[in-house]
């Protein structure tokens, strides 16, 4: 790319602490609250932000979770009585973003936000904690089916960021593979080698590489029960 390109802006920066969630009292830090002023970004995410189950949340490839603020209007239209859709943080995001969605970011994109630099690592695969959060038994499935899942950033350069900062695209090495494109492959249970072979050439995190490699080799789709419903 010849020049940096502004993709959007940070509406809110959010962090959360671990606490019991829903009737099952599952430990979770999905309840994110706005953090005012500049926030430090470290290799594993925002300073002061917590994740309950580090096997599937957080880590280098899921350091910062982003969610499009524009999606909230869609959810409000479907669930007008749900107060959580009235402000950022309902989906456990760290960055609520204006002007961009899963269609506007690609795997491997290099982004500048504040003084920190990031790479887009993967989309979010929603889990059963969204069902508990919104008291809807199929909320995780709705998020997956709608492709309004959000995406994760890997930290390339530590720094600080805050609400109002621009999200600037510095590099786009894989313009044909938006986050929405890969989320659709997962949702649609895609196993065709012709579609998965080029995906396996992308700089995917281990979890997504294993997912697509298994589909490519076995011609079958992974079991979603544990992720979507919290059952084995």
For 140-181, the pLDDT digits (tens) are 999 999 999 999 999 999 999 999 999 999 999 999 999 999
Q: Which domains can be identified in the chain, with CATH numbers?
A: 5-175 (2.40.33.20)
Give the residue-averaged pLDDT of 56-76: 92
Q: In terms of C-beta density within 10 A (0-12 exposed, 13-18 middle, 19 or more buried), how is residue 81 classed?
A: exposed
Ramachandran category for residue 56: left, alpha or beta (phi over 0 → left; psi -120 to 50 → alpha): alpha
Residue 223's pLDDT is: 94
CA angle 194, 197, 202 (to 5 degrees): 140
CB 189 within 8 A of CB 29: no
C-alpha closest to that of 161 among 60, 3, 36, 32: 36
Q: pTM for the full model?
A: 0.94
CB 93 within 8 A of CB 126: no
CB 42 within 8 A of CB 48: no
Q: What's the CA gap between 216 and 223, in Å, rounded?
A: 15
The pLDDT of residue 106 is above 70: yes
Residue 1's pLDDT is: 56
Give SS3 for 90.
coil
Q: What's the CA gap between 52 and 147, in Å, rounded?
A: 24
- Count of C-beta atoms within a 10 Å radius of residue 4: 14
Residue 20's pLDDT is: 75
Q: How confident is the model at residue 53 (pLDDT cuts 50, 70, 90)?
A: low
Residue 178's pLDDT is: 98
Q: How many residues in the chain?
A: 232
* Cα end-to-end distance, the chain, whole Å: 45
Is the pLDDT higher at 57 or at 121?
A: 121
């Amino acid at each position: 790319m010849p020049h940096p390109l502004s993709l959007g802006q940070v509406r809110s920066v959010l962090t959360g602490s671990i606490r019991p969630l829903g009737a099952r009292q599952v430990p979770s830090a999905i309840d994110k609250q706005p953090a005012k002023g500049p926030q430090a970004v470290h290799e594993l995410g925002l300073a002061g932000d917590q994740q309950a189950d580090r096997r599937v949340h957080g880590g280098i490839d899921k350091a910062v979770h982003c969610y499009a603020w524009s999606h909230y209007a869609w959810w409000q239209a479907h669930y007008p009585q749900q107060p959580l859709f009235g402000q950022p943080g309902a989906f456990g995001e760290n960055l609520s973003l204006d002007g961009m969605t899963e269609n506007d970011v690609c795997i491997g994109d290099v982004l500048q936000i504040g003084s920190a630099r990031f790479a887009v690592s993967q989309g979010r695969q929603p889990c059963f904690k969204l069902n508990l959060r919104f008291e809807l038994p199929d909320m995780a499935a709705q998020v997956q089916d709608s492709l309004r899942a959000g995406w994760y950033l890997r930290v390339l350069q530590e720094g600080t960021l805050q609400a109002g900062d621009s999200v600037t695209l510095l590099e786009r090495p894989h313009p044909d593979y938006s986050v929405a494109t890969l989320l659709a492959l997962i949702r649609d249970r895609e196993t065709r080698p012709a579609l998965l072979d080029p995906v396996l050439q992308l700089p995917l995190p281990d979890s997504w590489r294993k997912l697509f490699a298994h589909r490519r080799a076995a011609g079958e789709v992974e079991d979603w029960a544990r992720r979507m419903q919290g059952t084995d």
